[in-house]
Structure 1
Amino acid sequence: MVDYSLYLVTGRELLPQGKDYLVSLEESLQGGVTIVQVREKHIDTLEFLEIAQKTKLLCNKYNVPLIINDRIDIALAVQADGVHLGQTDMPIHIARSLLPPGTILGVSCNTKEHVQKAISDGADYVGIGAVWGTSTKQLTSPVIGVRGVGQILKTLDGTNVKAVAIGGIKSANALRTLHGSVSTTGHVLDGIAVVSDIVASTTPFHAAQNLSSILGAFNRNITLRVDQRYDATSSHIIDKIKNGVCNLMQTIKKTSPLIHQITNVVVTNQSANATLALGASPIMATAPEEMYDLSLAIGALLINFGTVKDKEGMILAGQFANASQKPVVFDPVGVGATQFRKRTAAELLNTWQASVIKGNAAELGALADSKEVQAKGVDSVGGGFLDPAGFVKELAKKERCVIVLTGKTDWISDGTTVVKLDNGHEILGDITGSGCLVGTCVAVFCGGAWAEAVSHEGNGALNQDPSGQLVKGDMLLGAISGVLALTIAAELAVERSDVHGSGTFLPALIDELYHLTPQEIIEKAKIEVVS
């Protein structure tokens, strides 16, 4: 069986000065490359033949298949294991008739239609992309993004055709690519194609070894990431969730995690105060130059683009948080209101992986391209989703994260479990930024979940090799806890004698967040596990 996992595409023009091609290739093979494609676009046939012959000998030494890009004549001449074709190259069925039986045939695909044709034509594997922008070749098709790969992968369900992600993949984004490129049916990539990260390295052995370790860690952890946390049939499940919320409350008070919030100008002050009230520490920083240093210190990151500013900071903050395995909570405020907001949300979600996405019906409907609920500014119009439980479950599978659908009833899912929460009060809709406060509370509790996981890391609470995880901690519990904290605090605040309307409610809400106790969570939380 062919191992497509670490698929090296050669590019001699990228070699560091003084680095011999064959030396670099051998070091790459020793580091873990599992399949090699020779790509030469600007040399004559004789030189291509010589390079292919030498490459074939080296690949044979390590029992690694050799693929030739485009050139069937070269593949025949050197007895290569396969040929990779582009959309404008020779059709697969003709190539198959010219090549020996058993020859591997792959084709580059940019759309579902491309993949469907490759399947019907008899391709052995497809290269899906470009996933990221790349400087190693001129792109003739648009960048589809990580989330686009996941949507295309579903086309391969029920087939034996393998899938390799191509275009701009390197160690910095490999885990994001693998994690995000999963279909809603669970179809995952069989490999990633890499060029410059290995070829341009002065130490290709270590570059390949690093990528190989990321692939291995991802494969070991993938079943853990889709594991069902809460069994709806258990008679003790509600108590388990409530106790988990209470434990997180204590962890937050004890560790005071730093919560980095890039949020809209309308709610900055009240979000910071809510963070402090829960026992965490806020920092409201937007400068791109700060993002790396902050990612090392924070417990969680909240990105709320209500006023759609500071996009560069948002991009870098999310990337660095992913690299540090910190929770990223995304609140796409008013995303359905304009095309600019939709494009910005898509760019952010294709750049980094969210741990939790929180929004009202209109916002999440816009992300899912649903027509059930319409947006009016930042608000929802209409009666809501006919099947909210099914909606959040499917969107969680699509986005590979926890989804929080806020409203009169709150629905939360990680793609396996769906939790229904019925706390809160209608007065929350009468103050500016109540939804943003939910995002803040979720980020605080996700930061607590991260801190709790880190504290137990040495005791086997996490996988032995956590590099395959994009975030540490129970993000589903973090999301549930954040929503419960705010909605129960709202119920307590509105009962106070000093609350006479929305103007007196907001400071009372902050007070109740500050005084919220585990006992109040246990007594008041209205939780139902529906799936």
Structure 2
Amino acid sequence: MIDYSLYLVTGRELLPEGKAYCDFLREALEGGVTIVQVREKKADTAEFLHIANESKNLCTNYGVPLIINDRVDIALAVDADGVHLGQTDMPVRVARSLLPPGKIIGVSCNSVDHVKKAVEDGADYVGIGAVWATNTKQLTSLVLGVRAVGPLLSALDGTSVKAVAIGGIKSSNVLRTLHGSVSTTGHRLDGVAVVSEIVSSREPCKSARTLKEVYRSWSNSTKQLGEISPPYTTEIIKDRVADLLHVVKETKPLIHQIINIVVANQSANATLALGASPIMASALEEMYDLSRVLSALLINLGTVTDNESMLTAGRFANDAKKPVVFDPVGVGATEFRRKVAAELLNTWQASVIKGNAGELAALADSEEVQAKGVDSIGVGFANPAKFVRDLARKERCVVALTGAIDWVSDGTTIVKLTNGHKLLGDITGSGCLVGTCIATFCAGAWELAKNEDGAAKLVRGDMLIGALGGILALTIAGERAAVRSNVQGSGTFLPALIDELYNLTPEKIKQDSQVEIVTV
């Protein structure tokens, strides 16, 4: 069986000055490359044949399959293990008729139609991309982005065709690529194709080994953890949320919030009221240092003025394995916001995405609910439980749909929450406060995992409880604030809400929570 996990695509023009091709390839193979494609776009036939022969000898010595890009004649001449074809190259069926039985044929694909055609034609694997922007090849199609790979993988369901992602993949984004490139039916990548990260390295063995280790770690963790939530009951949820509030008050975690200016003060006060510590920082230069000390990061699209800081903060938080909560405020209002949100979610992995119906509909490219500014219009989703479950599967994280009724899912478990009061909708930024509370409870989950395991090893179940805890904290506090005798309207409600968050206890959460686990 072919191991596609670390698929090297060569490019001699990218070699460091003074680095011989054979030395580079030998080191890369020693580092763990599992399959090699020789790509020579500018070489004449004689030169290509020479490079292919050298590559074949080295790959044979290491027991690694050799693929030739485009040229069936070169593959035949050196008895390569197969060929890789582009959309404008020789058709798969013609190549198959020329090659001896058992040879591998791969096809570059940039759309679902490309994948379906490759399967129909009998390809052995598809190369999906470009996933990230790349300078190693002139692109003829738009960059897909990580989140667009899933639908192409879905086209492989029920087939034996393998898939590798290609295009701009590096050690800094390979984990995001692997984690995010999964279909809603669970179809995963079989490997990643890498060019410059290895070819341009002065230490190709070390570069290959790093990439291979990331792949192995990802593969092992997904096999161990799976995608199935632990069994939940309403009482388990209440108990675990109550536990997280206790952890927050005990550990006082730091919550880094890049948030819109309208709600920064009240969000900071809400964080303090729950027992955590807020830092509202947006300077790009601070992002790395903060990622090392924070327990959760909240990125609130808000006024959309700190795009680079949002990109960098999320990437550093991912590297540090800290929870990232994304609140796509008003994402459906403008095309600019949609583009920014897409760039953010393609760059880093969110732990929780929280939004109202209009915002989440925009992220899901659904026309079922429309947005007007930061508000939703219309009657809502016909089946909100199914919607949040499907979006959670697509985005590979917990999704929280907020409104009169709140719906939360990790892609398997779906929870309906009915706490709240109408006065929450009468104050500015109540939705943003939910994001702050979710980030605070997710920080509690991170602290708990760190203390229990000796390392911050989180699974979606932790983030599901974190999202549920944040919503319940705010909505229960809202109910309690609304019935206070000194609350006469929205002006007196906000300070009372902060007070009730401050006075919230694990016992109050267990007593007041209205939680229902639903199925679709």
TM-score range, shorter chain: over 0.9
Q: How does 1:220-369 map to 2 (within 5 A)?
A: 220-231=220-231, 237-369=233-365
For the 8 Å contact 1:393–1:418, the answer to whether it is kept is yes
Q: Which amino acid aligns with 2:500?
A: E
Identity of aligned residues (%): 68
For the 8 Å contact 1:259–1:280, the answer to whether it is kept is yes
Q: 2:471 aligns with which of 468, 471, 483?
A: 483
For the 8 Å contact 1:277–1:511, the answer to whether it is kept is yes
Which secondary structure state, in structure 1, belongs to the residue aligned with residue 155 of structure 2? helix
Deviations 1:443-475 (A, max 9, x none): 0111111111111123xx87xxx6xx7x79810
For the 8 Å contact 1:446–1:473, the answer to whether it is kept is no
CA distance in 2, matches of 1:341, 1:16: 40
Partner of 1:213: 213
Report the CA distance between 1:17 and its aligned residue: 2.3
CA distance in 1, matches of 2:59, 2:379: 61
For the 8 Å contact 1:450–1:473, the answer to whether it is kept is no
Q: 1:522 aligns with which of 492, 510, 514?
A: 510
Partner of 2:2: 2
Q: Which amino acid aligns with 2:347?
A: T
Deviations 1:264-315 (A, max 9, x none): 1110100111111111111111111211111111111111112121111111
For the 8 Å contact 1:150–1:183, the answer to whether it is kept is yes
For the 8 Å contact 2:229–2:461, the answer to whether it is kept is no
For the 8 Å contact 1:8–1:37, the answer to whether it is kept is yes
Q: 1:446 aligns with which of 425, 442, 449?
A: 442
For the 8 Å contact 2:398–2:460, the answer to whether it is kept is no
Report the CA distance between 1:389 and its aligned residue: 0.7
Partner of 1:437: 433
Partner of 1:167: 167
CA distance in 2, matches of 1:109, 1:219: 23
**Alignment partner of 1:386 is 2:382:** yes
Q: 1:406 aligns with which of 402, 408, 425?
A: 402
Which secondary structure state, in structure 2, belongs to the residue aligned with residue 369 of structure 1? coil
For the 8 Å contact 1:362–1:374, the answer to whether it is kept is yes
Deviations 1:61-115 (A, max 9, x none): 1110000011111111100001001111111111111111111000101011111
Partner of 1:33: 33
Which secondary structure state, in structure 2, belongs to the residue aligned with residue 487 of structure 1? helix
Deviations 1:112-144 (A, max 9, x none): 111111111111100000000011111111100
**Alignment partner of 1:501 is 2:489:** yes
Deviations 1:352-372 (A, max 9, x none): 111100001111111111122
Partner of 1:60: 60
**Alignment partner of 1:201 is 2:189:** no
Report the CA distance between 1:225 and its aligned residue: 5.0
Structure 2: 5+ residue stretches without partners: none
Q: TM-score, normalised by structure 1?
A: 0.96
Partner of 1:109: 109
Q: Which amino acid aligns with 1:299?
A: S
Report the CA distance between 1:205 and its aligned residue: 1.4
Partner of 1:70: 70
CA distance in 1, matches of 2:355, 2:135: 36
Report the CA distance between 1:344 and its aligned residue: 1.3
Counterparts in 2 of 1:421 and 1:503: CA distance versus 1, 3 Å:
same
Partner of 1:512: 500
Q: Which amino acid aligns with 1:510?
A: I
Q: Which amino acid aligns with 2:320?
A: S
CA distance in 1, matches of 2:229, 2:133: 36
For the 8 Å contact 1:251–1:448, the answer to whether it is kept is yes
Q: Which amino acid aligns with 1:161?
A: V
Which secondary structure state, in structure 1, belongs to the residue aligned with residue 192 of structure 2? strand
Q: Which shows bigger deviation, 78-87 or 11-20?
A: 11-20
RMSD (Å) for aligned C-alpha atoms: 1.4
Structure 1: 5+ residue stretches without partners: none
Which secondary structure state, in structure 2, belongs to the residue aligned with residue 171 of structure 1? coil
Q: Which amino acid aligns with 1:321?
A: A
Which secondary structure state, in structure 2, belongs to the residue aligned with residue 172 of structure 1? coil
Number of aligned residues: 519
**Alignment partner of 1:397 is 2:393:** yes
For the 8 Å contact 2:230–2:461, the answer to whether it is kept is no
Which secondary structure state, in structure 2, belongs to the residue aligned with residue 52 of structure 1? helix
Q: Which shows bigger deviation, 178-187 or 338-347?
A: 338-347
Report the CA distance between 1:227 and its aligned residue: 3.8
CA distance in 2, matches of 1:40, 1:374: 49
Deviations 1:499-521 (A, max 9, x none): 11000000110111111011100
Partner of 1:131: 131
CA distance in 2, matches of 1:100, 1:244: 60
CA distance in 1, matches of 2:420, 2:245: 19
Which secondary structure state, in structure 2, belongs to the residue aligned with residue 354 of structure 1? coil
